[in-house]
Structure 1
Amino acid sequence: MLHEHRELITKLKGKDARFDNLFEAHNELDHKIKDAEEGRVHLDDLEIAKMKKEKLRLKDELNTYLNSVKDKN
C-alpha cells in the first residue's frame, strides 16, 4: 500500500493522529477482507464488496493526505 510514500509513512506513524486513524482503519479492513476471502470469517459477497470499496476510499484519502503533507515539506 502506498509504497511510494514509505519513508513519509514511517515518519508519520505515531506522530499524526489523522494519519494513524486512516492507516489503522485501512489495515483493519484489509485483514477482515483477507479473513473472509480465505474462509476464516463468513461474509457474503456483497459485504466483502462494500468493505473493498471502503478500503479503496481510505487508500485514496491516505494518498491525498500523504501528498498534501509531502507538498508542505
Structure 2
Amino acid sequence: MEHHDLLHELPEHRETIHSLKTGNAHFAKLFATYHELDRSVRNAEDRVEATSEEHEEQMKRQRLALKDELYAMILAAEGKTA
C-alpha cells in the first residue's frame, strides 16, 4: 500500500511541519484529522474495516482536501505559494 502520511509525502518540509504542529493549534488539529482519516482509508483498503466503496472514495476525497489545505499552510509558513 502507498503511504500517504505527510512526512512521507513531503519530507523536504519536515522542519516546517514540525514547527507548525507545535506552534499552530489549527494546523495541529488538521494534521491529526488527516492522519486519522488516512488510517481509516488504509484500513478500508486493506479490508480491516468494512465500508462501502462510496464511503471509501469519500474518505479519500476528504483526505486529499485536507492535504491540500495543510500543504498550503506549509508553503505559507515558508513564504512560498502553490
**Shorter-chain TM-score above 0.5:** yes
Alignment partner of 1:20 out of 22, 25, 28: 28
Is 1:63 matched up with 2:74?
no
Q: Give 1:1-73 correspondences, 5 Å limit.
A: 1=6, 2-71=10-79
Residue in 1 aligned with 2:3?
Answer: none
* One-letter code aligned to 1:70: E
Please provide the CA RMSD for this pair. Answer: 1.4
Q: TM-score, normalised by structure 2?
A: 0.80
CA distance in 1, matches of 2:36, 2:52: 18
SS in 1 for 2:63: helix
Question: Equivalents in 2 of 1:3, 1:62: separation in Å?
Answer: 14
Determine what percentage of the aligned residue pairs are the same residue.
36
Query: How far did 1:18 drift?
Result: 1.1
- Flag as ranges the 4+ runs of structure 1 deviating above 3 A: none
> Within 2, Cα distance between the matches of 1:11 and 1:34?
27
Gaps of 5+ in 2: 1-5
SS at match of 2:18: helix
